């Protein structure tokens, strides 16, 4: 399988810090957010290639970052051609651009570039090997306000996703879905089908919401913490956590 990192957003909630600098290259705990993620991908033998898609405006930053990277899997960069938040393609739009560039011949682990994952991604790969159908990650969240800002699933037998809602006003479970998916190669052509049918290109959860009505999608229950770096406050909290000033859950 391969891995695709979605890193083409403009992180407007972190302005002015990210006005001219990509969020995934911000430092937390002595290395970039992106390098934390790649440490996990590098450790998974099943992942043969890693691609990262970004926008044209931030491509020079990622090019310089890649030039300074030592060790680990090679990271191929894809430019989605956009320059501003107003002309962004959205996560699903970027997923399609990436697939048009790299093809659909292998299973694909898709993840956002701006979360710090304190659980092993290898467990998701192992779950996929046991049941080679598309998977999403889920974790319990008890704060209703947080659930209204993310994707939420209802699960059936064998943890099959029977309902998915992106940012629901009234969440029907406490199972949140971060932007971490393992898509079977047979599923990948459906990205174009979804967008061609008028699907929303923004949050990738909109695609998953549609996908689970077309085919079986299963959930992998993660055991650990996800730090979503979306605001100055969450960035500061993550940095304090890595300095040992806040407890790890």
Does the pTM surpass 0.85? The reply is yes
For the cut 70, the answer to whether the pLDDT of residue 248 exceeds it is no
**With bands split at pLDDT 50, 70 and 90, how would you rate the model's confidence at 203?**
confident
Confidence label for 135 from pLDDT (cuts 50, 70 and 90): very high
pLDDT at 100: 94
All structural domains of the chain, each given as residue ranges with its CATH number in brackets, are 2-242 (3.90.550.10)
- What pLDDT score was predicted for residue 123? 95
Q: Among 85-89, 142-146, 207-211, whose mean pLDDT is lowest?
A: 142-146
247 falls in which pLDDT band (50, 70, 90)? Answer: low
pLDDT band at 88 (very low <50, low <70, confident <90, very high): very high
Residue 164 pLDDT level (bands cut at 50, 70, 90): very high
With 90 as the cut, is the pLDDT of residue 246 above it?
no
User: How confident is the model at residue 103, as a pLDDT?
Assistant: 87
State yes or no: pLDDT of 126 exceeds 60: yes
Identify the residue with better confidence: 239 or 248: 239
The band of 146, judged by pLDDT with boundaries at 50, 70 and 90, is confident
**Mean pLDDT, to the nearest integer, of 3-20?**
93
Q: Per residue, what are the HEC states of the chain?
A: CEEEEEECCCCHHHCCCCCCCCHHHCEECCEEHHHHHHHHHHCCCCCCEEEEEECCCCHHHHHHHHHCCCCCCCEEEEECCCCCHHHCCCHHHHHHHHHHHHCCCCCEEEEECCEEEECCHHHHHHHHHHCCCCEEEEEECCCHHHHCCCEEEEECHHHEEEEEEECCCCCCCCEEECCEEEECCCCCCHHHHHHHCCCCCCCHHHHHHHHCCCCCCEEEECCCEEEECCCHHHHHHHHHHHCCCCCCC
């Amino acid at each position: 399988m391969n891995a695709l990192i979605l890193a083409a957003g403009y992180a407007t909630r972190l302005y002015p810090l990210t006005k001219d600098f990509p969020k995934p290259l911000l430092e937390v705990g002595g290395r970039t957010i992106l390098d934390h993620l790649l440490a996990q991908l590098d450790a998974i033998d099943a992942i043969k290639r890693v691609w990262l898609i970004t926008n044209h405006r931030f491509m020079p930053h990622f090019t310089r970052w890649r030039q300074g990277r030592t060790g680990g899997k090679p990271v191929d960069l894809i430019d989605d051609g956009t320059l501003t938040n107003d002309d962004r393609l959205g996560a699903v739009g970027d997923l399609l651009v990436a697939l048009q560039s790299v093809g659909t011949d292998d299973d694909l682990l898709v993840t956002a570039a701006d979360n710090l994952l304190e659980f092993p991604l290898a467990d998701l790969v192992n779950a996929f090997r046991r049941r080679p159908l598309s998977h999403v990650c889920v974790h319990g969240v008890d704060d209703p306000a947080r659930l209204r800002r993310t994707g939420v699933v209802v699960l059936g037998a064998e943890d099959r996703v029977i309902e998915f809602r992106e940012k629901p006003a009234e969440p029907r479970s406490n199972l949140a879905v971060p932007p971490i998916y393992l898509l079977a190669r047979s599923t990948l052509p459906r990205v174009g089908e979804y967008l061609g049918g008028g699907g929303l290109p923004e949050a990738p959860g909109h695609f998953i919401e549609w996908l689970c009505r077309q085919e079986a999608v299963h959930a992998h229950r993660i055991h650990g913490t996800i730090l979503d770096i979306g605001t100055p406050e969450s960035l500061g909290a993550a940095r304090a956590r890595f300095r040992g000033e806040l407890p790890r859950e």
